[in-house]
Amino acid sequence: MSTRRIAGVLASASVLVGGIVVAAPASAAPVTRIVNTVSDFSCVFETAEGALVFFFGSSSSMDGESGAQLFVEDQDATVLVGEGGTASISTGSFAADVPVNDVRGEEPVPVGVASIEGIRTVVGEPVTEEVRDRSGNGWTTGTVVETNYRVDLTSVSVPGYTVLPGDDDCTSQDLAFDVKTTNPSAQIYNDSDFQSAICTLDGLPNGEVRLTGDLREPFFEVVIDDGVNPQKASGRLPLRGGSGEATAPLIDLNSEQQVAQLSISVELTKIGRRQQESEAVDGITQRVTWVPYRASITVTTSDGRSGVADCYAEYVTEKIIIRPSANTGGH
């Protein structure tokens, strides 16, 4: 469960299409329980005029807020836009109305109101997902129950267009959240990144290599590009004690066919001392630490090619501490 998805239930701000935008209250309790159901629908219609209609809506049970949006595309250009609408979504039905503007001129021109109504019927069994999500030193735990619906339209109208609804033009779902979230007085966020330079592979014509991602299991990319038939191999490379090996198919990027099997070995060696910088502004402290490495890399292919490289690399960690003083002024 992503933090972005969980954020969709944590406050009572405005509803956007597809979810709820929220912010924790400034004086939040140490633990807050959130019980909320977000219901939505999404439709794409063809029209007799050849344009496509995109119609969306959502609502929240926690605060009664709702929203709806529409846009119409004709020959890859947007001709109508509807925003600021409202939606009513229950277990068995939904409806929405949206004021629509023609946006083909220099200024939007109101052209009327688009509307939609339909019946929702549960499809399959609800699916329960356990939530255990961490953001810095804050935690969100609980459950999310997802219920999917079949949509049968009863009416849809868009100013200036004859909509041709089909059986599978709409989808709809409910996301029922029952979660607890902590709101510590000081929030702490940690991030880390390992990255090497893009290095030439000596002995392997037109070959280059790069390492990125996690220090213990970096992602490797090897590219052999002669300007005509570029080839690439990539994958994860687990390191134990700074050393590791991996294999991956070498793919011709033009044909997308495998041309060989590529093997890569890496040995990391620290080449300098750990360094750190720190800065504090308005209650926010940022600390950045980095350690330099040399990555000794050997690459071989099953068709007899090979190359080596000594790459400069860095492991960077960042810690951000946000204290209550950083949230003064209502932000």
What's the token pair of residue 4? 């972005």
What's the token pair of residue 105? 């001129």
For the stretch 24-66, pLDDT in tens is: 334 444 677 888 899 999 999 999 999 999 999 999 988 888 9
For the stretch 96-117, pLDDT in tens is: 999 999 998 889 999 999 999 9
Query: Three-class SS of residue 77?
Result: strand
CB hemisphere CA count around 14 (13 angstroms): 8
Q: What is the band of 289 on the pLDDT scale with cuts at 50, 70, 90?
A: confident
For the stretch 207-231, pLDDT in tens is: 999 999 988 899 999 999 999 999 9
Residue 57 one-letter amino acid: G
Q: What are the C-alpha distances in Å from 29 to residues 32, 132, 181, 283?
A: 6, 19, 9, 20
The arithmetic mean of pLDDT across residues 193-205, rounded, is 95
Share of the chain above pLDDT 70, in %: 84
Taking residue 30's Cβ as centre, other Cβ atoms within 10 Å add up to 8
What's the token pair of residue 220? 């490797």
The arithmetic mean of pLDDT across residues 310-327, rounded, is 76
Q: Are 43 and 169 in contact, with CB atoms under 8 Å apart? A: yes
- Name the nearest CA neighbour of 264 among 295, 292, 287, 290: 295
DSSP bridge pairs for 113: 99
What's the token pair of residue 197? 């330079």
- CA 309 to centroid of chain Cα atoms: 34
pTM of the model: 0.52
Beta-strand runs (E) in 183-224: 187-196, 199-200, 207-213, 218-224
The arithmetic mean of pLDDT across residues 127-133, rounded, is 84
pLDDT mean across residues, the chain: 84
Higher pLDDT, 286 or 114: 114
Q: What is the band of 241 on the pLDDT scale with cuts at 50, 70, 90?
A: confident
Higher pLDDT, 78 or 323: 78
Q: Are 93 and 151 in contact, with CB atoms under 8 Å apart? A: no
Rounded Cα distance between 164 and 14, Å, is 32
Residue 128 has pLDDT above 60, yes or no: yes
Higher pLDDT, 154 or 28: 154
Residue 23 has pLDDT above 70, yes or no: no
For the stretch 296-315, pLDDT in tens is: 999 999 999 999 999 999 99
Higher pLDDT, 322 or 198: 198
The arithmetic mean of pLDDT across residues 235-259, rounded, is 94
The arithmetic mean of pLDDT across residues 62-90, rounded, is 90
Could you please report the per-residue DSSP string of 243-298?
Answer: EEEEEEEEEETTTTEEEEEEEEEEEEEE-S--EEEEEEETTEEEEEEEEEEEEEEE
